[in-house]
Amino acid sequence: MSLFKTVMGQIAKVLPEVRKPIRKPSMTERLIWTGIALGVFLVMTQIPLFGAGRVGADPLAYSRVIFASAQGTLMELGIGPIVTAGLIMQLLKGSDIIKFDFTKPEEKALFTSSTKFLTIIVAFAEATAFIAAGFYGPNLQNTVAIIILLQLFGSTVLVMLLDEMIQKGWGIGSGISLFILAGVTKEVLWSLFSPLNPDGDFFGVIPYTIDAALNGNILDAVTRAAPFPNLITLGLTAMVIAIIIYVEGMKIEIPITSTRFKGFSGSYPIKLLYPSVIPVILASALLANITFMTQFLYARAREFPFLEIFGRFDPAQPGVPIGGIIYYISSPGRYDVALADPIRVVTFVVFLTLACVFFAKIWVSVGGLSAEAAAKSLIDAKVQVPGFRNSNVTVTAILKKYIPAVTIIGGLVIGLLASLSDILGIFGSGTGVLLMVSITLQYYQTLMREHIETVMPKLGAILGRS
């Protein structure tokens, strides 16, 4: 075992951990624990950081939906450190800089512990960087800075444990997915129904439309200037949701029969979006971290002017790029901005799509979704493909006809969906709505799998991967 694995094995012994339940909790118990985790998370998004000064313009607004974070609250960092640590570990694993054999349970557990340890390091580093960048006021006293640092660090560790609690069987699904779903849903509902607007008008498109109709100015609800929601963006949001639902349902079905239950037949589905939404989360996290680092470089541009090649930002709107490399790989955010610079549209779509393809290939490799892993799962579930020998080699060969190609196509499709919907400026952002719909469907499939597993446990686990 390498020195890295030896050291991590010792560190893993002292890391905070949520233990697996001794017995599998009932569905009701799991729903309760999932609700508790979500409730704790939502409460933390509303509790302001003690000691922080009045927050101004949000330089990280572009990443709030993806990281499920809220400015100036205990959830300032959101799930950012968890996603960033996972991104780094997947890159290290995918490039074979650090080698893990996921067929061995102890190696898989060590990978998880390494990711947790890296999450703690990233949380501390990001909290320190936020304070140093003056997000909570200039010239903070050391005591106040330490208090804010501890709040940010402690909140991230708590969120990490909530996610681990859900994933280890106390809850349903994934904590990260759940928190992203809650954040995006809140943004969409706000755009639809919020009555609040500093100008005294309604903000949400539905109350604004009703008010405009009552006053005989229904056209105002259609042509209302961005960034306020209007009927055009409502229609675009509905259209994108319909497209995502349609694409989510596209799949290849391989016929299977049970070698244990005579007469049983079914199909093993390989979805078009086989890698799920993980690639777009990782790609968005990569873009968010690049943007964050570019902002720090731009802050030093007065001393080193050449740094502006990486990015320049609008002083009136912190976090909004107006030049440099980051400008051409970041989303225009709205269709009217996109029309003003078609080159930026092309470069952004190409960057995000290629990033999604890259992370799709890595995720399928390290996430137990490869043809070899899927074949082993089918064999272990006592399932075979009719007309073929029931062996790992044969089933793997069959799955290799589809999974590698679907992985690349799925990465392309999810990258195009996320980037093009982002450009349209729909409610909750294109990437956010893509995640919201996909995660909602995953939760539905998880609940259906739970029902199937009550009758055929192993087969339910296999079919639930659709």
DSSP characters over 245-280: HHHHT-EEEEEEEESSSTT-EEEEEEETTTTTTHHH
* pLDDT above 90 coverage of the chain, percent: 15
For 161, the enclosing helix (H) or strand (E) is helix 142-165
Least confident of 62-66, 263-267, 398-402: 263-267
Least confident of 167-176, 296-305, 355-364: 296-305
Least confident of 130-139, 261-270, 318-327: 261-270
Q: Residue for token digits 């960048």?
A: 133
Strand-pair category, 251-258 with 321-323: unpaired
Q: Is pLDDT of 456 > 60?
A: no
Choose between 327 and 295: higher pLDDT: 327
Cis omega (within 30 of 0) on the bond before 227?
yes
Q: Give residue 465's pLDDT.
A: 47
Least confident of 2-11, 39-48, 178-187: 2-11
C-beta atoms surrounding 179 within 10 Å: 27
Q: Give residue 41's pLDDT.
A: 92
Taking the CA atoms of 336, 337, 341 and 347 in sequence, report the sign of the dihedral they define. Answer: negative
- N-terminal to C-terminal alpha carbon distance within the chain: 36
User: Mean pLDDT throughout 131-141?
Assistant: 77
Q: Is pLDDT of 71 > 60?
A: yes
| Domain annotation for the chain: domains and CATH numbers | 28-172 (1.10.3370.10), 236-466 (1.10.3370.10)
In this predicted model, what pLDDT tens digit does every residue of 186-231 receive, in sequence order? 888 888 888 876 666 788 888 888 888 888 888 888 878 777 888 8
Name the pLDDT band for 451 (thresholds 50, 70, 90): low
Q: Give residue 454's pLDDT.
A: 58
Q: Which residues pair with 269 in a beta bridge?
A: 253
In this predicted model, what pLDDT tens digit does every residue of 5-37 receive, in sequence order? 788 888 888 888 888 888 888 888 888 999 999
C-beta atoms surrounding 328 within 10 Å: 18
Angle value at C-alpha 87, between 275 and 165, nearest 5 degrees:
80
Q: Give residue 109's pLDDT.
A: 81
In this predicted model, what pLDDT tens digit does every residue of 406-435 receive, in sequence order? 899 999 999 998 888 888 888 888 888 888
Angle value at C-alpha 150, between 148 and 156, nearest 5 degrees:
105
Q: Residue for token digits 């225009």?
A: 332
User: Do 299 and 311 meet the contact criterion of CB atoms below 8 Å apart?
Assistant: no
Q: Give residue 119's pLDDT.
A: 93
Q: Residue for token digits 């729903």?
A: 31
